[in-house]
Structure 1
């Protein structure tokens, strides 16, 4: 497995498939409808505009196994040193250490760019993500009960924070 930057032209199709699988089959994203390629184009444009990395984990054949990014946490200027990250791994590569490698890289990139905090917003049913964040020293800093409604049930959202040594 190797980590490298992703580009819209080369990786958007594979990324869209991973996003849409998460939307349709998990509580990792509190969305109902699959994303479109237009949404992906806007997503990439916002990452580029904000100087936010989009990285992917690739297998030996060059296939995307998962991807990660971070972006603006809140709009107000005082939040400029805090970013919210996300990691998505394709169904067939979950449990193989892909998220670990992506998280390692995100932490290094965020610190290198001078950010002070990384925030993860995680559905409480997503035990794998909760454990991943705990493994890297993220602390639970709050839970919003009944934050979302999906699959005919209320979902609780946990916020996890890693304060970076910058």
Structure 2
């Protein structure tokens, strides 16, 4: 007879989109699964679940991370998902508006991760040229091939993001 042990719950405190959450989790739970399953923030997408497509990109402490590869219990800084991205007045963030303006999405599945990665690309100082944008956005895949429109959106949003 084989006996399987159940993992002990780990208590985690996460700040997500400005709200505090106290959770009892299996220590192996990814940030992606906590966002989608526990907090019901389904804007963050599960693509490959191996960190290769970028669909699950969120910001942790302002830096982009692949939430499918990040253990939720290890997160100590504020998390921003697509649901929490907004401008100072609570409207669309300039990057969200730029994606709309440039039709930088087709099916939309990768769009939340693309937008959050694009915000980080600008904040990291990598949005100076189209080549630089393409390089630093290369971890986010778009099966619809909206890449030229994504680059145009990043270029449009960059000067507007100084006020956000």
Would the TM-score normalized by the shorter structure come out above 0.5? Answer: no
* Larger relative contact order, structure 1 or 2 (CA cutoff 8 Å, min sep 6): 2
Write 1 or 2 for the structure with the bigger share of strand.
1
Structure 2 length normalisation: TM-score? 0.32
Structure 1 length normalisation: TM-score? 0.31
